[in-house]
Amino acid sequence: MDCKGLTVLVVDDFTTMRRIIRNILRDLGFGTVIDAEDGAAAVKILETQKVDLVISDWNMPTMNGLELLKWVRANAATRNLPFLMVTAESQKENIMEAVKAKVSNYVVKPFTAQSLAEKLQKLLFH
């Protein structure tokens, strides 16, 4: 995967998950990884920095992942940003709601590094 020049924003209220995803992205060769602890912090970053991909949890305080996704799709500058939801919310209704809000793809926790890599490959390079 040629992703050295890409900037990824990882959004999750748990440091553990941000670290796990960061490690996977580093091993895959992604250039820059930025963290945010919830949707509101992610919006502040997106308003000032260029990001190539958002990887976000769903259940977070202040602003959850679905609300963040809707903000991204409603904002002209970020409307077409690839957005991967990585979440423990795995019931069909949740997935349908994310699809309706135009999520790019969905990863259910728990996940392996390989499964995340495959989704990223499909999302960014196909």
Partner 1 sequence: MEVRMINPFLSAAVNVLTTMANITPQPGKPFLKTKDTAMGDVSAIIGITGEAQGSMALTFTESCILKLASSLMGEDYTELNDEVKDSVGELTNMICGDARRRLSETGIILQAGIPTIVAGKSHSITHIADGPRLAVPFQTKWGSFIIEIAFNKS
- Name the DSSP class of 56: E
Residue 57 DSSP SS3: coil
Residue corresponding to tokens 């000032």: 48
Q: Is 15 in the site for partner 1 (CB under 8 A)?
A: yes
- What's the min distance (Å) between Cβ of 98 and partner 1? 14
Report whether 82 contacts 52 (CB < 8 A).
yes
CA–CA distance, 89 with 34 (Å, rounded to integer): 23
Q: Which of 3, 9, 11, 20 binds partner 1 (CB under 8 A)?
A: 20
- What's the min distance (Å) between Cβ of 49 and partner 1? 25
Q: Is 19 in the site for partner 1 (CB under 8 A)?
A: yes
Report whether 31 contacts 7 (CB < 8 A).
yes
Q: Is 99 in the site for partner 1 (CB under 8 A)?
A: no
Q: Is 80 in the site for partner 1 (CB under 8 A)?
A: no
Interacting residue ranges for partner 1, rule: CB under 8 A: 13-17, 19-20, 23, 59-61, 87-93, 108-112
